[in-house]
Amino acid sequence: MRIDVVTLFPELFDAPLRTSLLGRAVAAGVVDVRVHDLRLYGLGRHRVVDDAPYGGGAGMVLRPEPVFAAVEALDAPEAHVVLLSPRGRRLVQRRCEALAAMAHLVLVCGRYEGVDERVALGLADEELSIGDYVLAGGEVAALVVIEAVTRLLPGVVGNPGSVRTESHAGGLLEHPHYTRPAEFRGMRVPDVLLSGDHEAIARWRAEQARRTTERRRPDLLQGDAGP
């Protein structure tokens, strides 16, 4: 899989792309992540990438010309272009699975007050948001997308079963986990987990997953978690 990132701050991606599962996936060639400096496509001698909004208002807006130029320079018309934006569709596990099935993603990181609307209308295939809040820019959101998608690729996670049973994979939050010691500060591991009865353990975990979801995220049970 190939992922291209268009950003004004490419240095923000240096350490994450070298660390943990994501770093190993990049090193092994499972995913090819390329980061492109939007400033290189800025206008004029000063590489201008933003301007004041038409109609007035606070902040600056990213101009369309540099963004279009940066994406078109990739010469990849088949790529799926994603604009990271707080007004985009909410990123959920099902969307990550769909993105992981694509061969080539281009992630465009917004900045400042926003991005000229013509980027969304004429360049991006979709807008994505990682949550109902506003960040300084789309870089952190792009890293969330990269990690969430990459870990679904074959060979990235050591035990593929963990991907199939974790939170959101089946529409529920994951069951509680315990490890040694069996008792810690008066808190004991549930007896069923120590029983060796795998069928009973499976039933307990399924029930705990449902109870946890009902208590913490009832919207998941109501089908309100997004497409």
Domain spanning 167-221, CATH architecture: Orthogonal Bundle (1.10)
What pLDDT shows up at residue 68?
98
Task: Write down the domain spans for the chain.
Answer: 2-150, 167-221
* CATH homologous superfamily, domain 2-150: SPOUT methyltransferase, trefoil knot domain (3.40.1280.10)
What pLDDT shows up at residue 170?
76
Condensed to tens digits (0 to 9), the pLDDT of residues 100-150 reads 999 999 999 999 999 999 999 999 999 999 999 999 999 999 999 999 999
What pLDDT shows up at residue 222?
84
Supply the DSSP string of 192-220, one letter for each residue: HHHS--HHHHHHHHHHHHHHHHHHH-HHH
Neighbours of 37 (CB within 10 A): 15
Beta partners for 101? none
What pLDDT shows up at residue 131?
96
What's phi and psi for 41, nearest 5 deg? -105, 15
Alpha-carbon gap, residue 67 to 82, rounded angstroms: 12
Domains 2-150 and 167-221 share a fold: no
Tell me which residues of the chain have a pLDDT lower than 70: 158-168, 223-227
